[in-house]
Structure 1
Amino acid sequence: MSTPRDDPMTEAERAERERALLAERAERSRGLELRWPEVTTSAPDVDALAVDVVNVGERRWDPTGSAFHAVALLRPESDPDASKGFFFGFVAGSSPAVALDPGEYARVTARIDANHWRDLSPGRYLVDAALAVLDVRTASPFAIELSAEQIAAHQPRFRHAPPPPPAGERTAAARERATMLRTMIAAAERSHEVLDLVRQQPTEQEALVAIADLLECDETGARAVHSTSLLRFSPSSLARMRLELEELEQRLRSAEG
């Protein structure tokens, strides 16, 4: 029996999987647009930027497990050509996605990542919004003025709060988490095979090797699967893991773009 694989996927396989995920996300996003309502552009609340998810297609849009997880993207008005991923970060919380008939919309909240307030300086910014899981973004931004008082009010409450880890460390941690999520999702989707394999192996080490072979993961991933609770294989847990993985992949594309 072979040993656990450290790098189960080739670069070509990763690229093909990435293309498939992008195509799937684009298909799930078909017919949707994000629009800033007048209530936001005329009197923006930086803690709750309302944005509308509008079905501009010709048929009903169904969620199929997606969530409306909106984030606000800021870039200095003085540098409008700056990356639209500027100040992009993960923001906890999302609104359950709902079915939308043609012309219907759902109003959700786009939030600024709390960790980015420490990097802002007073001035004018262009604000875009994006759905972190779906491939949907506002067609155009609106301008907002951030004062020193607003920025100070959003700084960490504790003076000695540790600074966030360097960007490189955050990206590496996100990649590791994404790899683990892919392994756990594969295990959940093939839970009956995983359980049968474990029952057939006389020792824990042989069970780990068998899991690694089945799921094409490394030993760390195999150990996580072997020790996980069966509750992680439930449909609701599987849906949450898929959502988290999609969000992580979106963050990684923004960081690497």
Structure 2
Amino acid sequence: MDFTDDSPQLGQADVDRDALAERGVRLADLIAALDATLDHSSALDAPRDGWRVLRRYRTGAVLIGAPVDPGGSVWRVAHVEARGRSVVMVRPEPMPLRASRAVRRRGLELRWPTVMTSAPSMGDFVVDIVNTGPARWESDTDGFYVVGAFTDLGSTDFSFGWVDSSQHKAVPLDPGEYARVAVSINPGTWATMGAGTHDLHAVLVSLGLRTSTPLSVVITTDLISQKQAARSHTSPASRRRMLDQQIEQVHTQVSASHSLDRVVQAVMSAQTDDDAIARISHVLNVDEQGAASVYHSPLQALSPNSGRRDQHLAHLIAARDRVH
């Protein structure tokens, strides 16, 4: 199963469109076929029939689900670890089937406003979310959180940490209307930033919508110093400790990448965000802060062979070594 932002979603998980249309089988039969063990107490109020594999992960883990209603608008799901290692717990909350990100963002564009393209920036960036479609756009639980990432001129390759964009409430937009929102830059960016001209890309996180063209930004040493000073007025020793913490977080991501099945199972069986973090802490034998950093990491950062993560780690170590 190959997924893109054209795939429907259950929660934040992309699922196979064809699998949604299958008849499905009994939960007990599917669990047996996957060589797993069912936690029966978690499935007491779940559908007994109609279960099918909705997604297969590269790790060998799978997401299974069954519709609750005849129209398939609401589902119960469970995560199954790689064969022979999983006790399956059906998630307690029904999950509404969501249209793909491509459908949910239809009609929206991200545009750099004139204030960004015609005047020098002092490091505070905004972008317009514009409804270019013929009808009113309204949110399907998606938020208006936009992140920015700098690249070398001409490069389009970048990544950013996962965040819960629902905290940045979206507003309805009639045709031609726009919402101007701040572009969030990771404060840690300034510790590894070099002076010069860079491209700034913006992404509307929950919808995977990005600016069609980057904003060319001249980054000066004064701006870098200003941003670093605004972030913290602490001593070099304190700044070094903060960089050490970031380095430790990346090392924790590396550890999580080698136990990804167990981390995913911990998250899928959790009742709340705090519960998920506590379970990850137990699985990886790390403190709450480290577990939280894993929980809020993009899957890309947890890949066993993430070159970007290794590059980020090298930047952090170099930045720490420059602190005196």
1:169 matches 2:252 = yes
Residue ranges of structure 1 left out of the alignment (5+ in a row)? 189-216, 225-244
Aligned counterpart, 1:57: 133
Aligned counterpart, 2:118: 42
1:107–1:41: structure 2 CA closer, same or farther, 3 Å change rule? same
C-alpha deviations, 1:98-134, integer Å up to 9, x for none? Answer: 0111211110010211011111111000111111111
Task: Single out whichever of 21-30 and 46-55 deviates more from structure 2.
Answer: 21-30
Aligned counterpart, 2:289: none
Calculate the TM-score normalised by the size of structure 1. Answer: 0.59
C-alpha deviations, 1:193-217, integer Å up to 9, x for none? Answer: xxxxxxxxxxxxxxxxxxxxxxxx9
Paired residue type of 1:115: G
TM alignment of 1:176-195, pairs within 5 A? 180-184=266-270, 187=271
Contact map agreement 1:95 1:108 (CA 8 A) in 2: no
1:70 matches 2:146 = yes
1:165 counterpart SS class: helix
1:106 counterpart SS class: strand
> For residues 38 and 165 of structure 1, what CA distance do their matches in structure 2 show?
38
- Out of 108, 129, 133, the residue aligned to residue 32 of structure 1 is 108
Calculate the TM-score normalised by the size of structure 2. Answer: 0.48
Contact map agreement 2:121 2:217 (CA 8 A) in 1: no
> For residues 114 and 177 of structure 2, what CA distance do their matches in structure 1 show?
17
Contact map agreement 1:53 1:106 (CA 8 A) in 2: yes
C-alpha deviations, 1:130-171, integer Å up to 9, x for none? Answer: 111112110101211111111122225222222122645346
Contact map agreement 2:144 2:181 (CA 8 A) in 1: yes
Contact map agreement 2:152 2:199 (CA 8 A) in 1: yes
TM alignment of 1:226-241, pairs within 5 A? none
1:60–1:74: structure 2 CA closer, same or farther, 3 Å change rule? same
Greater relative contact order structure (CA < 8 Å, 6+ sep): 1
> For residues 250 and 57 of structure 1, what CA distance do their matches in structure 2 show?
32
Aligned counterpart, 1:232: none
1:117–1:32: structure 2 CA closer, same or farther, 3 Å change rule? same
Paired residue type of 1:95: H
Aligned counterpart, 2:220: 147
Contact map agreement 2:123 2:223 (CA 8 A) in 1: no
Aligned counterpart, 2:5: none
1:16–1:146: structure 2 CA closer, same or farther, 3 Å change rule? farther
2:133 counterpart SS class: coil
Identical aligned residues as a percent: 28
1:22–1:73: structure 2 CA closer, same or farther, 3 Å change rule? farther
Contact map agreement 2:112 2:128 (CA 8 A) in 1: yes
Contact map agreement 1:46 1:111 (CA 8 A) in 2: no
Paired residue type of 1:36: W
How many residue pairs align between the two structures? 194
Alpha-carbon RMSD: 4.2
Aligned counterpart, 1:119: 192
Aligned counterpart, 1:138: 211
1:128–1:179: structure 2 CA closer, same or farther, 3 Å change rule? farther
Aligned counterpart, 1:85: 158
> For residues 3 and 92 of structure 1, what CA distance do their matches in structure 2 show?
30
Residue ranges of structure 2 left out of the alignment (5+ in a row)? 1-36, 40-54, 66-96, 284-294, 309-324
1:47–1:146: structure 2 CA closer, same or farther, 3 Å change rule? closer
Q: More helix per residue: 1 or 2?
A: 1
Q: More strand per residue: 1 or 2?
A: 2
